[in-house]
Structure formats: structure tokens, C-alpha cells
Structure 1
């Protein structure tokens, strides 16, 4: 048994943040009913990259990365009969997740206030760019807009250079994690009260809340942190260093690692300097310390530098490219890449959940659904509809 078995999530969301959240919960055992637009489905079904089947059919890798282990139904929310289906499903669901622009579902009679009387235990999650209130509530935005406006992008980039976005959509991904946390918290709260509620998740808020240490420096020192590349503003050394073979190694050192670092790299003068034995002393003399380590690392290949530092117990790791990560022995040993059987692609790889349970079954690794694949069976199982009724709804354009 998986920990969320018996929980039903009605997922009206699209694209990345919320589908990522509901995939996490689906793989922990929840039944996630993904509601998609008839004909086209979630927009990401048309997003690159595409995997190509032998017959030439293309399937979005983007969609597959965020929608495993779900059931897909198609419902036309512009149809009154379609909206009635959503109301009926919500009346039986534990959770509803949506990321429509503020006010959209209210106009369609599917807001929390409309559905709560049908199901007082319903947990209704609205994830929008800027939240349900405030001067920006009706603004539109994407991952990079939230990165920019939250200050995250201002912290990312090389010294003296312009802002740089991270290589992954971190605003979407971390907002998805907050949505999952919100749902799990509300489910636990409902155990005590028997009542559901409405949760307002703002992707902008989520990014501002994650400024944490950068905000701490501002609150404590009045400092607006500069861009430092891979360096840490409050710890030295903590940075990536180029090695003689043009590969990079990242090193992060606390005081207890300073001596073995210096001995491993032959930095005898630095080791003999008592001021550099403390992090505060090294922060004050950042340029000197960084130059010394940089010069030492330039004489070693990445493999040599890692071997000597890891052997001395110094926290360090090679900066790996994506192909190196996928080939890494620890990634293979932990089974982080798994495969599902897709109806058109055959066997296809993906990244498993990082969670491992003792006492429950581990998260499942199911395939993503075809568009509308489960419409008839979900309506039969949850609403008692027969094939004739489903066919009539299709004919009327509700499905």
C-alpha cells in the first residue's frame, strides 16, 4: 500500500507547476484525474522535445515528464454539461487543483464557493502567478517572470555580469512542491476537523519566500547580495574551480575541512596563517584564498583533484553535465532512471521519485496517459454513467 491510496485528486491544471505537484501525489498512491480540453489537451502535449515512435507519431517529452501515473479525461468546461460533470466529480473528490487566471472558474460556476456546499471536505487549491488578491492578482506571468520579479535572477550570474536564469524552471518546480506541501498539510488538517478549505498559492510568493539566506543578509546587514557566480556570499571557499583538463570541481569547506584542504593542495602558507583558519577570516580575505585555490586546482585534472580531496574528507564534487549524470554509478545504483511502457513509443525512460519508504510501498512509476484515455471508465466508476450516456455527452460536445 502507498501512503496516499484512497485519495482522489481532480486536477484541472495545465503546463508545469501544478501537474508536477499532482504527479508527485499520484506516484505516492493518489488517484489523479487529469481533466483536459477535448481535442488538444494540456498545452504541453504540443511542447517540444518530442519523442518519435516507429510509425512517425510524436509524443511530447515535456508532457510525459510531468504527468506520469495519472488518468486523463476530456471535459469541455465551456459546456454546461461539461461543467456539471466537474461539479459531480468535485462532490466526490478529496482535492481539486486548478491554475486558471483569477476569476475564470468563478465565471463558470466552479469556484470554491460554488463547490464547497456540494462537498464540505473538499480541499480546493488555486495556484496562480500572483495569488488571489493584491495589485498584481490579475497579471499573467511565466516561470522566468517570477524568477525576475522575486529577486532570484538578480542573485544568479557571474561577478560583474548580468543576471542569468537557472538552467531549470525553478519557479515552476518549487511552486509545484509548495502545492504538494499545501495539499498534504490540508489532508492532515481535515483528519482533525473533517472540513476542507481553499488554498491560495502564489508562484510569486513562493519565490520570495525562498530568498531565505539572501533575505537574512538583507535583514541583518542591509546588504543587497551581489552576483558571485558559484561562490557563496558567507562561506569561503565554496565555489567551482577549473581544473587542468578544462573540467570543473565544486568545493565547499567549513572550518574543520580547511586543514585537510590545504594539505591536499599544498597550500602550506595559507595553512600556517591562523586568521585563515576561521571562515570569517577567509571571507575577509576572499580574493587571496580564491586565488590560492584556483592556482592549485589548475595543476590537477578534475579526477586527480577529486580523488585527493575526497580522500581527505573534503566536501567536493565534480560539476557534471547531464549525460555524465545519467551515466553516473550512484545514479544507476539508486535506480533514479526508470522506464515505463508507452502505447506508441514502447519502453521510455524517466526520473523516479526520490522518496523511498519503509512501511509503505515506494512511489509507483506509471506511464503518462493518452489524451482522454480514461474518460469512459472514470465517468462510469465515479458517476455511474453507462457507455450510452458517455457517447451522448461526446455527441453534445461536453467531452
Structure 2
């Protein structure tokens, strides 16, 4: 065989071997890419994203789109060829697998966590929106979760309303731990509660909080990391709304749609169009007090929003510098730190006063 032919054959075989290795060898990376974007003012899957009953609502045109990021699953292992293709792609991002799924998180655990964060974001969005509209929202301290095999397991349940600890009224979630830790491990502490089922039934029927109370005694134990007395619960805040607000959006998880849900609620409960008919998209977590927080995958979200036709993108303040490094053509990034900032920006967009918008910069 001529030397030239042998060399070409050897090179070809080596290339094939490298390609096979690239396809077969898994690498510890995951991929993020632009996901679906949904108008919170419209329908999705044949149902309104926001359904409000018991309060007058108003027609809303335009778009207030929430945005998403599509990620490879926790159990999916990329190969080297896919990783290289992702690194070369302008619109996708390849990141360490542990960034998306820390501590070996399974697919089931990731789904559960995303569902819980999504549920909490809906609650916060409702509260923040109604505060903008000066609609009172009642708050109460509840059992958010019970630790498995803890002293409280079987006695307290998630959703129980905590009215008092040792007879002392509870006003904030932090009051619970403060009162429990006044005990020594092994001592008993009493909880005065409204059972979760009774509280939920009253709320569903739009009735006042039940007057019936239960007082339960729990023996504390030593915390695993110090000498504090604990019972093994996490206290949280639950809200009672004066009318029904349902947020329905299948196959979406995580907290990053909170801002856009809140703005959609404000728009539907306010005469006229908040957007002035413009196509506005955005992202951001939201707290009950209206504070907007940063999210991951911001550049994937701006790409996805622009591809659907968005002209303005409401961007969390802490994501602005990253987003501004590579802005899709035709998209204006608007910096927001609170829901009030977002409402102000929408009013400017509606009025055509876009020159005064607080825009994102790389600095």
C-alpha cells in the first residue's frame, strides 16, 4: 500500500475513533437554551393563565410575557460532541451539571423543588400585586413543613395555623423559633393551632377564621448542630385573599415568573391597558413586599422573548449587566428592582416616553 494512502487511511480511522469517543464519552455538563414564553394576559393550553373571580376585572391587550429556560434533565448525560456544539452555539449555554443539579440532585427532587418554588412565587405575586392596588391581604403564621422523625411529626402538620406558643401570641414566623428555644431540650412546649383542614375549609368558603383552637404539647429535643431546643418544624407565612386568583401554567416550575404574574394581575384588575398594547416580556422572582430578585439564564430568556416579538424586557437589576453584554437586536432591556419600578416603566412605555426608561448597561 502506498505511504500516502496508508497515511490517509490511518488519519480517517483516527478521526472516526475520535468521533466515536466524542459520542460515547459522557461529560459532566448540562445545556441551557431559550424556552417557551407565555403571555400572562392570555390563554395557555386552552385556559386563561390568570383567572380572577369575586372581583371586577378589565380586558387587557398587549403582552406581559413570562419567559423560561429549557435545560437538559438531571439524568441526562451530555457527550463531548454535544458539549462542543453547545459551546459554539450563540443562543445556548453549556454549564457544569452541578450548577443546575447541586449535590447530586435527582430528576424527582428537581421537579419537586421547582414545583414548590413555583407555588411560592404565585403566592408572593398575588400579595405584591394587591399591595400595588392597595387591596388589604390578611397574613397568618403557619407550619410550612415538618421534619421527618422529629418531635413534631404526627402532631403538627403543614398548613396548621400557629396562633400561640406557650400561650404567647405569634405574629411572625420568627416568633415560633424564638419561643421554642427559650426551653431546654427535653422540656415540653405547647402550640395553639387551627388545624390545616379547618383553616383551608374556611378560606375556601370565604368564611372568617375558625374560632376553634387546639392546644398541643410537644417535647423538644436538642438540635443536631448545637444545644438549642427544637421541635422540628419550619414556620412560614400564608395569606388569605379577599377574592379568588388562580394561576394556571402547566409544565413550568421555579420562581422566576413571579414578577410577570404580579404585573398580569395588576393589569387585569386595573381599567385600561398597563402595556398600551405593546409587547413586553420579562423575568424575575418577587417577594411579597414587591422586591424583584435575579434569576438564572437571563441571556436565554432575552433571546426567547425577542424571537416571539418582544420589544421591551423587564430585567431584574442584578441581571442587568450580564444581559446587556449581548442584547438581541430590537429589544430594550429595562432595569427593575421592585414591582413599583416595573409599573412605572410600563406607564412610560404606554405613554411613548421610552427615552426616560431606566435601561440596563454593562457597567
Q: Give me the TM-score of the superposition, normalised by structure 1.
A: 0.25
| Structure with the higher strand share, 1 or 2 | 2
Q: Give me the TM-score of the superposition, normalised by structure 2.
A: 0.26
| Structure with the higher helix share, 1 or 2 | 1
